[in-house]
Structure 1
């Protein structure tokens, strides 16, 4: 945990502006009983998920998925246990030793150990709780206290949303969960947020297709496919497929936003997630990320994924 000595009020204000989307994310999380999404089941080791759930229960209002998203961001759920940050943070949840000395929890009776997964996760819950997460009072602020970086907060909240199951019901015979009516947009956005941090790869269709990452249209195609919507492969064809939104139509979560020199020369696409933010695979120099969609070459939006 790369906790710095002080947080500037202006920086925290930036978090609020950047993370207006957080209201929608947190509103979808039930702190006590949010079921894991398929992404969570595939990504989180079972013992770690149990620890996240148990530790979150010690702080009323703290979703276990937020703890899990921090664990993913810090050491990939302990898969990189020997990682030590430039600031000297160590252990599965990347605590500074001085911070752990104050908030360390002995979760399993062996003495508080910064490198022990149970102790580290329960200690992270204690720190978040003391920093504003109790009763869900200010979860973005608590995550910002954990790491004073607005981009980090955005990534954690997006991953927490992706770890939450927004679908109900199953296909016949106990098969995989299918979207409930009205859940297609949630499924598509959940899919896109779960890819944050993956590398840009020209022509990439993501790990499920054997690629290490995505390009812009590969990401939007895969997100739509997760919601049961077929899209063409390249950005221009996705734009042409429509349905196009009139220029004065307010954007909605799940809309596709397009960029280029003209509507006949579309070169980029992202998926809109609310509050002027989109998730996209920008270019070879940047990974999949959440960012402001208001680029100078914005050319319009389509709404192929319906609520």
Structure 2
């Protein structure tokens, strides 16, 4: 007899808001087996497909195994109706969040003997651990330092610019405009850059300053969650805005955490987290093990297993078996980057798992009809069961 996988979707739920990449209609799984996979691979971001991404502060819960399916909610009512009481299970919202405080860029003139300036040394020391080219990292730092003078109330951090840089064109390694800047944004914010006689969009420092000005233009405070969320939404407001914003948030959080402890750059937990971030936007597929295994996407435990497989750490396949096989994080302690966070009943069955990103956030394959995305990992009333620590 085949044992059903965890993370099985039991019902759809009302969404307050969502955005789509392109329309995809997932197949409905049977009670005995996962759905037949859709064979799809994409060249960009591991084959992004069209499924709803939950917008900031939007409901996106799933049901506990064995509970009755609620009656369908009409589409118009779903915009305003509260979620049914029985959906309080697992993470169900993405609260507005700003990245944590990162290591500050060094400042000062070059030392005696013509050695590199402290800022260049800072960029060189972090470029390898963060996997960001030193010129790009130097540009992000210059963007922060310039905006400290021009808009000190904005509190722009270089990690937000680094998040824009990886989401825009992979820190200059890919196609597209640096920092995801539009032509209109560059014309408006990049014409005059302090210390650069002829600003060019290809220059990381010039592009970073222009991006910082665009983010701070609305007068927001980027150290606060609501301000950060609003600024990045306004920066990229096209059809792919929600995926862009989640990628910026996820990588900015990663860079901030790693900048404070760069020695963990080669830790399995860091490799697993990078892998999971690379899957943002792929669809939830019950029983899915990802594009490398021939599926369009992942289910929850498929994502966590594949993430740690990429780091050379083997995990069992289901959420319940992962919960019972990894060392637990002591109660009362916050999970760390790369830890697994579990939902359900430890005494009976764990039905869901995600990968902790830090700052109260998790990378999550939620349920059928939803893309892999970032959620707030714990809120009062959910069935959070604790965290586990697969590897350092």
| Category of TM-score, reference length = shorter chain | 0.5 to 0.7
> 2-side partners of 1:291 and 1:264: how far apart?
22
Q: Which residue of 2 aligns with 1:239?
A: 323
Q: Assess, with a 3 A threshold, how the Cα gap between structure 1 residues 32 and 274 changes in structure 2: closer, same or farther.
A: closer
2:95 counterpart of 1:19: yes
Correspondence 1:1-307 to 2 at 5 A: 14=57, 18-22=94-98, 25-27=99-101, 29-32=102-105, 36=126, 40-41=130-131, 44-60=132-148, 61-81=155-175, 83=176, 91-107=177-193, 109=196, 111-114=198-201, 117-132=204-219, 136=223, 138-148=227-237, 149=241, 152-164=244-256, 165=258, 168=261, 191=274, 194-195=277-278, 197=280, 199=282, 202-204=288-290, 216-221=300-305, 231-241=315-325, 252-253=334-335, 254=339, 256-258=341-343, 263-264=348-349, 266=351, 268-272=352-356, 278-282=362-366, 287-291=371-375, 301-305=385-389
> 2-side partners of 1:250 and 1:222: how far apart?
28
- Counterpart contact for 2:215–2:235, Cα < 8 Å: yes
In the TM superposition, residue 255 of structure 1 has moved relative to its aligned partner by: 5.0
Q: Assess, with a 3 A threshold, how the Cα gap between structure 1 residues 251 and 289 changes in structure 2: closer, same or farther.
A: farther
Please state whether the residue corresponding to 1:62 is helix, strand or coil. coil
Aligned length: 264
Q: Which has the larger radius of gyration?
A: 2
> 2-side partners of 1:49 and 1:110: how far apart?
21
- Counterpart contact for 1:59–1:134, Cα < 8 Å: no
- Counterpart contact for 1:257–1:300, Cα < 8 Å: yes
Q: Deviations over 1:180-218 (max 9, x none)?
A: xxxx99x59954764352646833498xx9x99765324
Please state whether the residue corresponding to 2:388 is helix, strand or coil. coil
Q: Assess, with a 3 A threshold, how the Cα gap between structure 1 residues 305 and 229 changes in structure 2: closer, same or farther.
A: farther
TM-score (norm 1): 0.60
Q: Deviations over 1:62-108 (max 9, x none)?
A: 22121011121122223343x4xxxxxxx323333333332114557
Q: Which residue of 2 aligns with 1:87?
A: none
- The structure where helix makes up a greater share of residues is 1
> 2-side partners of 1:14 and 1:299: how far apart?
19
Q: Which residue of 1 aligns with 2:43?
A: none
> 2-side partners of 1:213 and 1:46: how far apart?
33
> 2-side partners of 1:167 and 1:49: how far apart?
15
Unpaired segments of 5 or more residues in structure 2?
A: 1-54, 59-92, 107-121, 149-154
Which one scores higher on RCO, CA 8 angstroms, separation ≥ 6?
A: 2
Please state whether the residue corresponding to 1:237 is helix, strand or coil. helix
> 1-side partners of 2:289 and 2:200: how far apart?
45
- Aligned alpha-carbon RMSD (Å): 4.9
Q: Assess, with a 3 A threshold, how the Cα gap between structure 1 residues 193 and 167 changes in structure 2: closer, same or farther.
A: farther
Q: Assess, with a 3 A threshold, how the Cα gap between structure 1 residues 204 and 38 changes in structure 2: closer, same or farther.
A: farther
> 1-side partners of 2:291 and 2:344: how far apart?
20
TM-score (norm 2): 0.50
